[in-house]
Amino acid sequence: MLSLRRSTAWSLHCGVFLGASYGVFVRWGMSALHSNLITVMSVAFVFLIPFAMGFVTVFTAQRESDHGVPMWIVLPWIPVLLGTAVSLFFLWEGWICVVMFVPVALVWSSIGGLIAGGVVRMIQSRAARSMSAACVLILPMMVSPWERNVFTYKDLRTVETFVDINAPAEVIWRNIERVPAIRSEELHSSWSRRIGFPAPVEATLSYEGVGGIRHATFARGVLFIETIDIWEPGRRLAFSIKAQGDQIPATTLDEHVKVGGPYFDVLRGEYVLEPLGNGVTRLHLSSQHRLSTDFNWYARLWTDAVMRDLQNTILQVIQKRGETAVHDY
Q: What homologous superfamily does CATH list for 153-328?
A: START domain (3.30.530.20)
Tell whether the torsion through CA atoms of 97, 150, 26 and 249 is positive or negative: negative
**Range name among 82-91, 186-195, 255-264, 279-288 with the lowest pLDDT average:** 255-264
Give the pLDDT of residue 3. 46
Q: What rounded mean pLDDT belongs to the chain?
A: 88
CA distance 38 to 22: 14
HEC profile for 294-326?
CCHHHHHHHHHHHHHHHHHHHHHHHHHHHHHHH
| 181-207 per-position pLDDT tens digit | 999 899 988 999 888 888 999 999 999
CA distance 28 to 201: 36
CA 249 from chain center: how many Å? 18
Nearest to 237 by CA among 208, 276, 259, 258: 208
To the nearest whole percent, how much of the chain has pLDDT over 90? 60
**169 Cβ contact list (under 8 Å, min separation 6):** 234, 235, 273, 275, 281
Q: Where are the domains of the chain?
A: 2-151, 153-328
Phi, psi dihedral angles at 9 (to 5 degrees):
-65, -40
The neighbour count for residue 174, using CB atoms within 10 Å, is: 15
pLDDT at 232 over 60: yes
pLDDT at 246 over 80: no
pLDDT at 309 over 80: yes
Measured at the CA of 72, the angle between CA 69 and CA 77, to 5 degrees, comes to 140
**263 Cβ contact list (under 8 Å, min separation 6):** 41, 256, 257, 291, 292, 293, 299
CA distance 208 to 263: 33
pLDDT at 73 over 50: yes
> Which helix (H) or strand (E) element contains residue 226?
strand 222-232
| 130-147 per-position pLDDT tens digit | 899 899 999 998 988 888
Strand order in the sheet with 236-243: 153-165, 280-293, 264-277, 236-243, 222-232, 213-218, 200-205
CA distance 246 to 226: 16
**276 Cβ contact list (under 8 Å, min separation 6):** 164, 282
pLDDT at 249 over 70: no
pTM of structure? 0.85
